[in-house]
Amino acid sequence: MPTTQTPASGIPRVHERDARPAEPRIVVHPVGVGEVRDIRSAASVRLRAPEVHDELVLTATPSAPRTARHWVMQIAAAAGIGGAANQVAELLTGEVVANTVVHGPHDSDVVVRVTVTAGVLHVEVTDHGGGTPHLRRTEPTAPNGRGLAIVDALSSAWGTTHEPGRTVVWFEVDDS
């Protein structure tokens, strides 16, 4: 297809007599800027995101797991953690906070701490109970007892800390 250069812009112009549906053209910047890409999801951008440290204090009531799940999901999304990692963090937070409601002291404080560093989401849930959380392998028909098994299966790391009058369960989800 014959083309001519327009003197002002340097962009090729198609002659009218050969007009056909235009094929996609690549327009090159005269200075050679290069390719323009959307880099918001690039790993290098996520790694440069600032560290996030936040804390939520809840009362150990039946609504606490839902509140904590939504809060962690929003913190993770604001820190650039999305997709499956965000959903896993939401699920695991709900499981761990539900354990504090069921096994910890009723109507006491539950503290949820979130740290995001270099694409790793670290969540800690602290209650004022003296119990010792342990991983159970339950029967498929058992009505409960799978919370820490789910944490074990889906997190990149997890653990517990016991101090007098205080129990901490933590997990990490990697956004890679």
pLDDT tens for 93-107 read 999 999 999 988 888
User: In the predicted model, what is the mean pLDDT of residues 43-63?
Assistant: 77
Question: Model confidence at 141, in pLDDT bands (50, 70, 90)?
Answer: confident
| Res 14 pLDDT > 50 | no
Q: Give the CATH number for residue 107.
A: 3.30.565.10
**Does some domain include residue 29?**
no
Domain housing 122: 43-174
**How many CA atoms within 13 Å lie on the side-chain side of 82?**
8
- DSSP run (H or E) holding 83: helix 83-103
CA distance 105 to 108: 6
**Does some domain include residue 50?**
yes
**Does some domain include residue 95?**
yes
Number of Cβ within 10 Å of residue 146's Cβ equals 16
| Res 117 pLDDT > 60 | yes
**Does some domain include residue 128?**
yes
| Res 52 pLDDT > 70 | yes
DSSP string, 2-46: -EEE-TTT--EEE-GGG--PPPP-PPPPTT--------TT-HHHH
In the chain, the number of structural domains is: 1
What is the reported pLDDT for 50?
Answer: 61
For 153, phi then psi, to 5°, come to -75, -35
Question: Model confidence at 145, in pLDDT bands (50, 70, 90)?
Answer: confident
| Res 91 pLDDT > 90 | yes
What is the reported pLDDT for 120?
Answer: 94
**Does some domain include residue 85?**
yes
